[in-house]
Amino acid sequence: MTDAVQTPHVGQTRFTPRVFSGIQPSGGLTLGNYLGALKRFVQKQDEGIETIYCLVDLHAITTWQDPEKLRQQTREAAAGFIAAGIDPTRSILFNQSQVSAHAELGWVFNCVARLGWMNRMTQFKDKAGKNAENVSLGLYAYPSLMAADILLYHATQVPVGEDQKQHVELTRDIAAKFNHDYKVDFFPLTEPVIQGVATRVMSLRDGSKKMSKSDPSDQSRINLTDDADTIAAKFRKAKTDAGVLPDLPEALADRPEARNLVNIYAALADQSVEEVLAEYAGRGFGAFKPALVDLAVAKLAPISTEMKRLMDDPAEIDRILGDGANRADAIAQPILAKTLEIVGMIRSRR
């Protein structure tokens, strides 16, 4: 596949292509994470670009996490990455808190980002809701830590789902303001990579809501740990309408549940929506759902089986994350050191 994303450059500086992305271990991985993010992560790794993938545990604690569960979920997410095709010898795979430079650069960026910018973040508004006085300060500052995650590696490309686009744009704003305020060409203007037909997978119970690991209803999502029977039962019960599938994608515009299932099918089959409709136009969900179940089970059951196998050896997962953290740290430390020097900190420890 040719890569449509241009390497960004600021002024005279050219940055080597490097991919960074992260997923919060605040619950189990979902089909949304898989289609919107993980599949893309594997693709980038296989394009031969340097790829760095992070389980962002510091982001996860912006809402309270049970400590033992957080550790378990971090291991399980690591197992999910590997089972989905991330090779920890070709990519760097680690958990964020093992590289303390993330928090340090995050602080510097808290002093670069403006309150007005943070107040525009729609994810914060959604998550805080009517409860904004009572959520953590970390939840508010979260996008500035995300900018630090990315820029700590001078990453040029960030594969994410649609919901993260605004945060990557904020990352560019922070990089540009830093470069401007300190008269340097130090941080790249990172590009979001939002590709494919499933950049926003919706809940199986409500086509207007994103499929999410934090939705109280387990029926609303497919988890990467679900077995074949569970996957089948959830798709069978998924909300749909009484219509038949149309010939053209545009005819799905006001049928969010139907569109979601067609998008999921297309993404799992590596087909376009047009190709899926060419096969199923004129047929109802009585015919389409069983085909979707067969496809989903064929693609996802091997991942859940492999995850279970990997989870039998948590010490090996911890070793992989530790090794990844060492390699990440080796890239991050010089960039953090240079940043602190640029902003005027004395660096005299030997």
Determine contact, residues 21/160, Cβ cutoff 8 Å: yes
Catalytic residue flag (residue 237) = no
Rounded to the nearest 10 degrees, the angle between the axes of helix 314-343 and helix 101-110 is: 40
User: What is the full DSSP assignment across 255-282?
Assistant: -HHHHHHHHHHHHHHT--HHHHHHHHTT
Q: Does 339 bind ligand AMP (CB under 6 A)?
A: no
CB of 60 to ligand TRP, least distance (A): 9
Amino acid in the structure at residue 236: R
| Residue 158 interaction partner, one of ligand AMP, ligand TRP, none, beta carbon < 5-8 Å per kind | ligand TRP
52: which strand partners? 20, 92
CA–CA separation, 165 vs 120, rounded Å?
13
> Cβ-closest residue to ligand AMP?
36
CA–CA separation, 49 vs 232, rounded Å?
36
Of residues 17 and 80, the one with the C-beta less far from ligand AMP: 80
Determine contact, residues 82/88, Cβ cutoff 8 Å: yes
Residue from the set 18, 213, 289, 299 that interacts with ligand AMP by CB under 6 A:
213
Per-residue binding letters, 19-58, with ligand AMP (x by CB under 6 A): ----xx-------xx--xx---------------------
Determine contact, residues 175/126, Cβ cutoff 8 Å: no
Of residues 32 and 207, the one with the C-beta less far from ligand AMP: 32
Q: Does 146 bind ligand TRP (CB under 6 A)?
A: yes
Residue from the set 74, 95, 157, 164 that interacts with ligand AMP by CB under 6 A:
164
| Contacts with ligand AMP, residue ranges (CB under 6 A) | 23-24, 32-33, 36-37, 160-161, 163-164, 199-201, 210-211, 213
Catalytic residues: 127, 210, 213
